[in-house]
Structure 1
Amino acid sequence: MKTKYIDLIDQTYFFPQDEFQLEGNKLRFHDINLSKLVEEYGTPLKFTYLPKISDNIQRAKSWFKEAMVKNEYKGAYKYCYCTKSSHFKHVIEEALKNDIHLETSSAFDINIIENLKKNNKIGNDTYVICNGFKRSQYVSNIARLINNGHYNCIPIIDNYEEINILSQEIKKPYQIGIRIASEEEPKFAFYTSRLGIGYKNILPFYRKQIKENDKVELKMLHFFINTGIKDNAYYWNELQKCLKVYTSLKKECPTLNSLNIGGGFPVKNSLAFDYDYQYIINEIVNQIRVTCEEAEVDVPDIFTEFGSFTVGESGGAIYEILYQKQQNDREKWNMINSSFITTLPDTWAINKRFIMLPINRWNDSYERVLLGGLTCDSDDYYNSEQHMNAIYLPVYNKDKPLYIGFFNTGAYQENIGGFGGLQHCLIPQPKHLILDRDKNGDLLCSVFSEQQTSDQLLSILGYSEKDKTEKEKIKKTKLIEL
């Protein structure tokens, strides 16, 4: 009778898979000995495996290259990394090894761009696509970048006033894009994206504010839908509406030569994950080519802004099961030594699914469980609503430690969780490792951040004597000024 955990996985999925293999009864991820990491650094533990970032970028580039050759597509392909997915230096610098471009969403992003330029990581030929609603600081930073010679900085116009606001601070002619306000799926609480300008309003907007404006050159049309790139009628319908706008605009605007289809490639969230990237890309490229040929206009260069796809599959988190609580006849709660709310906020905020597997004890029998975090918040859990199926793990045994891993967690979790800041119930942030390979393929490991200490949290809260003194000085100064 097959009752071991490995039997369950073997019967349910195709296993092993490219990134997951077993060595005895222990799990390896991209040939990383996870048990050795646990022995060396303890838990809870988060890590970023840098080579996976480059691997995914190269995969996407090869898919687009193949599709363009197959469809005899005359335009070029530009891969942009969406920085909001993870702003960390080690992430962006790894991505930049692959001859890519960058997309920003707020003012401080431009400071990162300037730092990268200062350190010769990018040059003026790197496209910087500036999305988002542009408040005064964002406008000033964009203007500074362009005024200092970065002509390939392209602000994407989000509303009718942005051109005038930008032109007040940009001292030379500059390029722009226009974002289409796409219509969302019927299940959404709203019908139209809050971002961009409506389909029917783009041509009138061009004629009124851009056509006779010698200072701005329209280069790009930007298209993105919230649900991502999916093989369904909704996505293809929205893409066709976008292409009709592009071809109509192209006939009046000869400088328009780029179509930005945004991001939206999914990240593997289950061992049963099945998404045909090559087919989807081929269909996108084909539809663009056919629509442009029918309208008798040149095909555009294609830009993408992959964020989660770039960095998501590089991340992981490892926890220890501290204790099991039998709360009723049916529910067994395995308590992890951290918090889902603080370390994997998407699991409770949007019920996002990640791949979850035990690190050890694969040859032990298994049981159905729920996973709970350490906070006293009722939402600090992970169960079958977030997971693809019911959660099964090796049977809890207080004398045999059990470690579990969550994989492909590299996008957004640190940004949303507030890296380096306060955590819910003051649960400390875990130690974070950066994993890389040398030229011989040997694993390199460095500690990016240690687990948070009580002193760090108390300092943020204003309890340290030094902080108290500084705050008192500020308070007294304000009283004098008043």
Structure 2
Amino acid sequence: MRTKYIDLIEQTFDFPQDEFALEDDVLQFHGIDLMALIAKYGTPLKFNYLPQISNNIQRCKGWFSETMNTIRYTGSYNYSYCTKSSHFSFVLDEVLKNDVHLETSSSYDIDIINHLLDKGKITNDPQVICNGYKPDKYIDNIAGLINDNRIKVLPVMDNADELDRLVGKVNRTIDIGIRIASEEDPKFEFYTSRLGMRYRDILPYYLDNIKDNEKVNLKMLHFFINTGIDDNAYYWNELTKSLRVYCELKKVCPSLDSLNIGGGFPIKKSLAFDYDYPYMVKEILLQIQSVCKEYDIPEPNIFTEFGSFTVGESGGAIFKIIAQKQQNDREKWNMIDSSFMTNLPDTWAINQRFVMLPINGWNEKYERVLLGGLTCDSDDYYNSEQHVNAIYLPKFTKDKDLYIGFFNTGAYQETIGGFGGLKHCLIPEPKHILISRDKMGVVQTEVFSEQQNASDYLAILGYQK
């Protein structure tokens, strides 16, 4: 009778997978012994496996390069990293090894760009694409970066007012883009994105404000779908509408040569994840090629701004099950030594799923449980894994420690959770480590930040000055 946890996983999913395997009853992540990490650093523990960042960038570049060669696409492909997904220095250091562009979304992003330039970490002549709604401070910082003339800068206009505010602060001709306010999925509470300009306003805006402006060259049209790049009628319809705007604009704007299709590549949130990246790349490029042929215009250079895809699959969190509470006849609550609300906030805010697996105990019998965090908030729980609103884990016993891991958490969780700041119920920020490999492939680990302590909180709250 197959009643062990490993039996459940093998019957439910394809296992092992590229990044997950089992060795001596211990989960391996990219060949890394996670129990060895726990023995060295304890829990709760967050980590980033840095080689996965470069791996995903190079995979994506390969898909576009191969498809462009196959279909004889004449434009170029340009990978950009969306910095808001994770601003950490260790992320940017790894990203910049891969000859990519950078996309910013706020004024402080520009301070990070300047720091990287000062340290000589930006090479290979990348471009900074400045997106987002732009208050005065953001405009000032963009203008300063342009005037400094150390790196190519392409601000993307979010509304009609931004161009005049920017042009008055720069000392030379600038390249710009325009963002389309795409229509949202019909299931959304609103119909049109709050970012960008309406489809019908873009051509008149160019003719009235840019065409005869000697200080401005329109180079890029920016298109982004909030729900991501998916093989459904909604995505293809919005892409086609944006392409037609691009083609109409290109007829009257010779300098326009680039189409930015934004971000939106998904990452693995379950062992059942199945997404055909090469197929989607090919279909996108074929659709662009087809519409351009219809309008008899050159195929545009393609830009993407992948954030979660770049960094998400590098991150993880490990917790210890510290107790089990039997709350009624059916509900067993496994309590972790941290909090979901504070340290994996997307699980609470948008019911996000992550890959969740036990680190040990795979050869034990399994049971259905709920996972609870340490805050006093009733919403501090996790029960939305693949197993129909329940989680199955090896049976908990008081005489054997049980550890669980959440994987592919590397995008947004630290910034949304307020890294290094106050947490709900003063639950501390876990220790955070970085995992890399040397030139020989040997695993290297280092502590990026220690777990918060009482003194940290007392200082933040004003009790210690």
TM range, normalised to the smaller chain?
A: over 0.9
The question of 1:185 aligning with 2:185 is answered yes
Equivalent in the alignment of 1:131: 131
Equivalent in the alignment of 1:286: 286
**Is contact 2:327-2:333 (8 Å) kept?**
yes
Q: Secondary structure at the match of 2:125?
A: coil
- 1:325-340 alignment, distance < 5 Å: 325-340=325-340
Q: Secondary structure at the match of 1:97?
A: helix
Q: Secondary structure at the match of 2:121?
A: coil
Structure 2 letter corresponding to 1:200: R
- 1:212-231 alignment, distance < 5 Å: 212-231=212-231
Q: CA deviation at 1:177?
A: 0.1
Per mean C-alpha deviation after superposition, the further-off stretch among 442-451 and 144-153 is 144-153
The 1:96–1:67 alpha-carbon spacing in structure 2 relative to 1, beyond 3 Å, is: same
The 1:123–1:166 alpha-carbon spacing in structure 2 relative to 1, beyond 3 Å, is: farther
Q: Distance in 1 between matches of 2:113 and 2:123?
A: 10
Structure 2 letter corresponding to 1:430: P
**Is contact 2:353-2:384 (8 Å) kept?**
no
**Is contact 1:125-1:150 (8 Å) kept?**
no
The question of 1:39 aligning with 2:59 is answered no
Cα displacement string for residues 400-443 of structure 1 (whole angstroms, at most 9, x for unaligned residues): 10000000000000000000100110000000000000000000
Structure 2 letter corresponding to 1:282: K
Q: Distance in 1 between matches of 2:441 and 2:137?
A: 44
Q: Secondary structure at the match of 1:48?
A: strand
Structure 2 letter corresponding to 1:293: K
Cα displacement string for residues 358-400 of structure 1 (whole angstroms, at most 9, x for unaligned residues): 0001000000000000000001000037876521000010101
**Structure 2 length as normaliser, TM-score?**
0.99
Equivalent in the alignment of 2:433: 433
Q: Secondary structure at the match of 1:21?
A: strand
Cα displacement string for residues 341-366 of structure 1 (whole angstroms, at most 9, x for unaligned residues): 11100001000010000000100000
Equivalent in the alignment of 1:251: 251
Structure 1 letter corresponding to 2:79: Y
**Is contact 1:64-1:281 (8 Å) kept?**
yes
The question of 1:265 aligning with 2:257 is answered no
Equivalent in the alignment of 2:319: 319
Equivalent in the alignment of 1:159: 159
Q: CA deviation at 1:294?
A: 1.1
Q: Secondary structure at the match of 2:271?
A: coil
Q: Secondary structure at the match of 2:129?
A: strand
What RMSD, in angstroms, separates the aligned Cα atoms of the two structures?
Answer: 1.0
Per mean C-alpha deviation after superposition, the further-off stretch among 218-227 and 112-121 is 112-121
Q: Secondary structure at the match of 1:406?
A: strand
The 1:178–1:21 alpha-carbon spacing in structure 2 relative to 1, beyond 3 Å, is: same
Structure 2 letter corresponding to 1:64: F
- 1:386-405 alignment, distance < 5 Å: 390-405=390-405
Q: Distance in 2 between matches of 1:147 and 1:386?
A: 51
The count of aligned residue pairs is 465
Q: Distance in 2 between matches of 1:80 and 1:190?
A: 28
Equivalent in the alignment of 2:352: 352
**Is contact 1:335-1:374 (8 Å) kept?**
yes
Q: Distance in 1 between matches of 2:386 and 2:141?
A: 40
Structure 1 letter corresponding to 2:293: E
Structure 2 letter corresponding to 1:327: Q
The 1:123–1:444 alpha-carbon spacing in structure 2 relative to 1, beyond 3 Å, is: closer
Stretches of 4+ moved more than 6 A in 1?
Answer: 385-388
Q: Distance in 2 between matches of 1:385 and 1:208?
A: 52
Structure 2: segments with no counterpart, 5+ residues: none
Cα displacement string for residues 204-251 of structure 1 (whole angstroms, at most 9, x for unaligned residues): 010011011110100000000100000000000000000000000000
Q: Distance in 2 between matches of 1:21 and 1:64?
A: 29
The 1:33–1:124 alpha-carbon spacing in structure 2 relative to 1, beyond 3 Å, is: closer
Equivalent in the alignment of 2:91: 91
Q: Distance in 2 between matches of 1:313 and 1:116?
A: 24
**Is contact 1:158-1:178 (8 Å) kept?**
yes
Structure 1 letter corresponding to 2:247: T
Structure 2 letter corresponding to 1:438: D
The share of aligned pairs that are identical, in percent, is: 66
Structure 1: segments with no counterpart, 5+ residues: 468-482
Equivalent in the alignment of 1:472: none
- 1:47-86 alignment, distance < 5 Å: 47-86=47-86
Structure 2 letter corresponding to 1:190: F
Structure 1 letter corresponding to 2:40: E
Cα displacement string for residues 444-465 of structure 1 (whole angstroms, at most 9, x for unaligned residues): 000000000110111000000x
Equivalent in the alignment of 2:298: 298
Q: Secondary structure at the match of 2:84?
A: helix
Cα displacement string for residues 135-172 of structure 1 (whole angstroms, at most 9, x for unaligned residues): 11111110011001146200100001000000111111
**Structure 1 length as normaliser, TM-score?**
0.95
Q: Secondary structure at the match of 2:330?
A: coil
Equivalent in the alignment of 1:107: 107
Q: CA deviation at 1:69?
A: 1.0
Q: Distance in 2 between matches of 1:250 and 1:271?
A: 44
Equivalent in the alignment of 2:461: 461
Q: Secondary structure at the match of 1:197?
A: coil
Q: CA deviation at 1:123?
A: 4.5
